Amino acid sequence: MARTLAAGWSEGDEVVVTRLDHDANIRPWVQAAERAGVTVRRADFDPATGELTADHIRAQLSDRTRLVAVTAASNLIGTMPPVAEIARLVHEAGALLYVDGVHHTAHAPVDVRVLGADFFVCSPYKFLGPHHGVLAASPELLETLRPDKLLPSSDAVPERFELGTLPYELLAGTRAAVDVLAGLGGPADGGRRTRLGAAYEAIGAHEARLRARLEEGLAALDGVTVHSRAARRTPTLLLTFDGRSTEDAYRFLAGRNVHAPSGHFYALEASRHLGLGDTGGLRVGLACYTSDEDVDRLLDGLGDFLKQTPAAH
């Protein structure tokens, strides 16, 4: 999509990316901009609060802005920027908004029109489905775009963008995953969309309760810094430890049957902006299938790790 959109850019145009995003929603724009002679502007986020506000985006907009790429939720620290507010600014500037919903979609319901996204992408494997890519955009907008394609393949929308024989088994798997999700709100009347709404309410409540339990437990441990601080965020916490490596913590926890990996998780610019360089931190993610026992096992494991690992000074 970056290549396709860049075909309509001219020298002197600008695109805006953020330092909060996964590299998947930065590098394709940077590379397409380089090829097209277009300027890339970077919206910061506040490393102290983890917040990316509409003002951070506003500061980078100009009458040459063609596209703004922003995440609906950070996969590193969970921050959920105010996408609908950002969409209004971006559209006032006459630009398009490309929203990365890969992390968001596992935790919060999506209404692309309410978000105001011109493009919204997500990856079903993040919400119990198989590995393939999903892009939502209005047929009218897609009609204006001309991706490279084979001559005999359909020029209709959306087939124009769906190259080759479709992965039917993945499409069936994604549909089945959405049905599983829609059932998590318990028996409810109404169509799939209504049931999904109830399910996400239940998922949100479950994750919020576990997050409170986790944050309370972490606050009682000495030497832990929690970098996830935004007011609106998913239950994804990034931690570092005074004088101890997060890689050692990851290995220690793995021995206790806790999967909490260490790294930057491809949100490389965000990790650097947080002052964590290319090392990143220990990421703890809660999901609809996480239990109270899982949270307690993690907290016990971390407590033991901190006791048993002397801090280097």
Ligand X SMILES: Cc1ncc(COP(=O)(O)O)c(C=O)c1O
Interacting residue ranges for ligand X, rule: CB under 6 A: 22, 24-25, 71, 75, 100, 102-103, 123
Q: How far apart are CA 223 and CA 249, in angstroms?
A: 13
Closest CB to ligand X among 130 and 183?
130
Closest CB to ligand X among 135 and 221?
135
Closest CB to ligand X among 25 and 240?
25
Q: How far apart are CA 170 and CA 168, in angstroms?
A: 5
Tell the smallest beta-carbon distance from residue 28 to ligand X (Å): 11
Closest CB to ligand X among 195 and 283?
283
Closest CB to ligand X belongs to which residue? 75
Q: Which residues pair with 79 in a beta bridge?
A: 233
Tell the smallest beta-carbon distance from residue 36 to ligand X (Å): 23
Tell the smallest beta-carbon distance from residue 100 to ligand X (Å): 5
Tell the smallest beta-carbon distance from residue 123 to ligand X (Å): 3
Tell the smallest beta-carbon distance from residue 101 to ligand X (Å): 8
What is the residue whose two structure tokens read 């239950």?
235
Closest CB to ligand X among 135 and 157?
135
Q: How many secondary structure helices (H) and strands (E) does the chain include?
A: 11, 10
What is the residue whose two structure tokens read 């790429």?
69
What does 256-300 look like in DSSP terms, one character per residue? TT----EE-TT-HHHHHHTT-TTT-EEEEE--TT--HHHHHHHHH
Quick one: which H or E segment has residue 85?
helix 83-92
Q: How far apart are CA 164 and CA 149, in angstroms?
A: 9
Q: How far apart are CA 205 and CA 195, in angstroms?
A: 15
Find out whether 40 and 30 touch, Cβ atoms under 8 Å. yes
Closest CB to ligand X among 51 and 100?
100
Name which of 262, 308, 252 is nearest 285 in CA terms.
262
Tell the smallest beta-carbon distance from residue 159 to ligand X (Å): 22
Q: How far apart are CA 192 and CA 118, in angstroms?
A: 23
Closest CB to ligand X among 100 and 269?
100
Tell the smallest beta-carbon distance from residue 191 to ligand X (Å): 27
Q: How far apart are CA 173 and CA 125, in angstroms?
A: 10
Quick one: which H or E segment has residue 238?
strand 236-241
